[in-house]
Amino acid sequence: MIIEVEKLRKEFNGIVAVDGISFGVERGEIFGFLGPNGAGKTTTINILTTLLLPTSGTARIAGYDLLRQPAEVRRRIGLVPQEVVLEGDLTARENLVFHGMLYGLSRSQVERRIPELLELVELAERADSKVKTFSGGMKRRLELVKVLIHDPEVIFLDEPTVGLDPQTRRRIWEYIRLLNTEREVTVFLTTHYMEEAEQLCDRVCIIDHGRILDMGHPEELKRRLGERDIVEVELSEPCGGFLSRLESMGYRIKSVRGCRASIVAGRREKALAELFRLAGELGVSITSISVRAPTLEDVFIHYTGRGIRDEAGGDSRMRQIARRLKH
């Protein structure tokens, strides 16, 4: 294991942000923390990158103890935070030189590495352009290779595609895969995007309220639900009687929003036939219907009773911590 975490806990004035979590990350894998805002993802990364001290617990990165050998840990890691940290008035090349010298590299050492790194993220032609002229996606790509300047063994990516449009997000996924495969770098990322976790991660750790709920390969997590197909159905009003009858027939209703419901179907053909038969019997119209395979969203709902997109209060938890810290 290149990352070993044991009973890690972090409290802010009595509020628990990370609640005694333990996990390990294999060398060379892409490992993801999936959860809503306020779940404890960023706090965990800040501890593992030596920016925060834990309240209790231990961690080792590349064989070095986080608390006893923080300098050795920092030499072996790179961090891409949520916010872009680049000097807009400097060129891409100058930003890389500046970052490399912060790690004790000579200018000549950095200059030798710059062409290869910029080529990796297709920014070689913009090496001498000021970063303030870059798009959001270009800045993110530069951030990705900036952390490679000192050849880290592990890179931490905190919400690497937040705020980016879908097309740019997918490009960033491609670059993350390249860093992992071509540079043989272990990647630890946090995300609240289900698709991002499914597309990128060898293993996903589902975290909420500072606790780990489950962990494994995305497909493995979905198989554990024991579900085959999910029927998404939207009905005309009133629909309460329809849903009650479905439950009495042995169907499990995963979620309901008004007259839109997600229903677990063992065999889709049988389920669809029974849904339409019941609708006709009760005089309820089915306005839309679709069938899909289980997703990580279903796994998250299974453990928490809500979807990540419903977690509007996630930020409020962090605001609660911030308010406590002020007093």
User: Which range has the worst mean pLDDT, 172-186, 225-239, 241-255, 304-318?
Assistant: 304-318
Q: Summarize pLDDT for 51-93 with one digit per residue, the tens.
A: 999 999 999 999 999 999 999 999 999 999 988 889 999 999 9
Higher pLDDT, 58 or 105: 58
Q: Are 130 and 168 part of one and the same domain?
A: yes
Positive or negative, the CA dihedral 100, 62, 53, 40 is positive
Helix (DSSP H) and strand (DSSP E) numbers for the chain: 12, 14
Select from 97, 10, 90 the least CA-distant residue to 45: 10
Q: Rounded to whole angstroms, how far apart are CA atoms 159 and 294?
A: 24
Q: Are 200 and 162 part of one and the same domain?
A: yes
Q: Are 68 and 202 part of one and the same domain?
A: yes
Select from 219, 183, 220, 199 the least CA-distant residue to 32: 199
- Domain end call among 160, 190, 218: 218
Q: Do 305 and 253 form a contact (C-beta atoms < 8 A)?
A: no
**Inside any domain, residue 303:** no
**Inside any domain, residue 173:** yes
- Mean pLDDT over the full length of the chain: 87
Alpha carbon distances (Å) from 199 to 108, 126, 267, 307:
37, 29, 27, 19
Q: Are 31 and 180 part of one and the same domain?
A: yes
What's residue 269's pLDDT?
84
Asked if the model's pLDDT at residue 49 lies above 50, the reply is: yes
H or E stretch at 85: none
**Inside any domain, residue 223:** no
Q: Rounded to whole angstroms, how far apart are CA atoms 223 and 228?
A: 8
Q: What is the CATH number of the domain that holds 134?
A: 3.40.50.300
Percent of the chain with pLDDT over 90: 48
**Inside any domain, residue 182:** yes
Average pLDDT over residues 119-136: 93
Asked if the model's pLDDT at residue 320 lies above 70, the reply is: no
Q: Are 10 and 89 part of one and the same domain?
A: yes
Q: What residues make up the domain containing 61?
A: 3-218
What's residue 313's pLDDT?
42
Asked if the model's pLDDT at residue 15 lies above 50, the reply is: yes
Q: Are 152 and 195 part of one and the same domain?
A: yes
| Other residues' Cβ atoms within 10 Å of the Cβ of residue 37 | 18
Q: Are 152 and 264 part of one and the same domain?
A: no
Q: Treating both helix axes as pointing N-terminal to C-terminal, what angle do 107-120 and 136-146 enclose, rounded to 10 degrees?
A: 130
Q: Are 29 and 139 part of one and the same domain?
A: yes
Select from 72, 69, 74, 49 the least CA-distant residue to 157: 49
Average pLDDT over residues 239-260: 83
**Inside any domain, residue 269:** yes
**Inside any domain, residue 282:** yes
Q: Rounded to whole angstroms, how far apart are CA atoms 110 and 115?
A: 10
Number of domains into which the chain is organized: 2
Q: What is the CATH number of the domain that holds 254?
A: 3.30.70.270
Q: Are 26 and 153 part of one and the same domain?
A: yes
Within 8 A by CB and 6+ apart from 202, the residues are 26, 29, 30, 31, 217
Q: Are 186 and 206 part of one and the same domain?
A: yes
Q: Rounded to whole angstroms, how far apart are CA atoms 324 and 320?
A: 6
**Inside any domain, residue 250:** yes
Within 8 A by CB and 6+ apart from 23, the residues are 3, 5, 205, 212, 215
Asked if the model's pLDDT at residue 263 lies above 90, the reply is: no
**Inside any domain, residue 76:** yes
Q: Are 43 and 169 part of one and the same domain?
A: yes
Q: Are 194 and 249 part of one and the same domain?
A: no
